[in-house]
Amino acid sequence: MSSLPRRIIKETQRLMQEPVPGINAIPDENNARYFHVIVTGPNDSPFEGGVFKLELFLPEDYPMSAPKVRFITKIYHPNIDRLGRICLDVLKDKWSPALQIRTILLSIQALLSAPNPDDPLANDVAELWKVNEAEAIRNAREWTQKYAVED
Amino acid sequence: MSDYFEELGHTPTGPEGANDYERHHRRLQVLAIMNGIDIEIQVPEASKRAIAALSVHTVLESELGGDLECAVCKEPAQLGDVYKILPCKHEFHEECVLLWLKKANSCPLCRYELETDDAVYEELRHYKQDEPNRRDRHDHLMNSMFG
């Protein structure tokens, strides 16, 4: 593998020195392009109190391609599917090399505060979110307690 | 859709055969977006003509220490660095922005879209550029009828 671009080194240092509130990202000790990420559920969201594990990988041509990000912890959310894949425009066609790991993780945190059932990835979840929001939120709280809260 | 054709053992027809299918499919995507359907479309690279037309800015000593920074590599400007200026006035290191414009036709900071060589995509780009005028024409029409 080629040497690590300066930009990745700088981003990593800044993530460690000035972490974003509620977000923790550390590179894997064997692979500096693979990050272990923890996002805490935002207050006043059904994910409050949860600690969600994610993985983030910087592809070879980063920042010309978006980072690959996936939830590892199970989550009940209309824009996140069973495999933890995230439906977020900045991870796809709205990616720009001016964005960075920090901004992407902030967008994911914002997605937890504001689920968007009109642009679904998990269809059954999105459907319920539209027809019976109260029940969907209850489910999301239950899943948070069941899968994202450490005993 | 292509799976469906495969299942039927059918090759889409047209003057260029199967290749033409791809073009029609993209055209359909473009029309869908123009009709307000929110779908993702493969964004083409900027045209060679648009890239060649970009002006160049070589960083002078007097510009150092300011807030000029390349938003792609996040490095502050250094004496003699060559920046390319996009039509939206945002500027980036030549080598940084050229790498990007070979993947997508937009400004990394404001998503201003440069010309492409993709005739089908150009239709959508012009449509998007015309958005403010279209709104004006609509308002004008409404005002003339109900104003």
Best mutation target among A12, A13, A64 (most B Cβ atoms within 10 Å) is: A64
Which chain A residues touch B43 with a CB distance below 8 Å?
93
Domains of chain A: 4-146 (3.10.110.10)
**pTM confidence score:** 0.83
Domains and CATH numbers, chain B: 1-42 (no CATH), 43-120 (3.30.40.10)
What is the full per-residue pLDDT of chain A (151 aa) written as tens digits? 457 899 999 999 999 999 999 999 999 999 999 999 999 999 999 999 999 999 999 999 999 999 999 999 999 999 999 999 999 999 998 999 999 999 999 999 999 999 988 877 778 899 999 999 999 999 999 999 999 998 6
Choose the mutation target among B70, B72, B121 for the interface with A, i.e. most A CBs under 10 Å.
B72
Using CA atoms, how far residue A30 sits from A27, A62, B126, in Å, is 8, 18, 47
Identify the pLDDT of residue B17: 60
Q: What confidence tens digit (pLDDT) does each residue in B58-77 have?
A: 988 888 877 889 999 999 88
Is it the case that residue B108 has pLDDT exceeding 70? yes
* pLDDT for res B20: 75
How far CA A146 is from CA of A46, A74, A108, A141, in Å, comes to 13, 9, 21, 9
Quick: pLDDT tens for B8-62.
Answer: 776 656 565 666 778 888 899 999 999 988 888 889 999 999 999 999 999 888 8
Amino acid occupying residue B18: A
Q: Which of B38, B43, B71 sits opposite A98 (nearest CB)?
A: B71
What residues form DSSP beta bridges with B56? B84
Of the residues A87, A108, A112, A121, only one is catalytic, namely A87
Identify whether A87 is a catalytic site residue: yes
A87 Cβ contact partners less than 8 Å away, ≥ 6 residues apart: A79, A80, A81, A119, A120, A121
For residue A56, the cross-strand partners are A35, A69
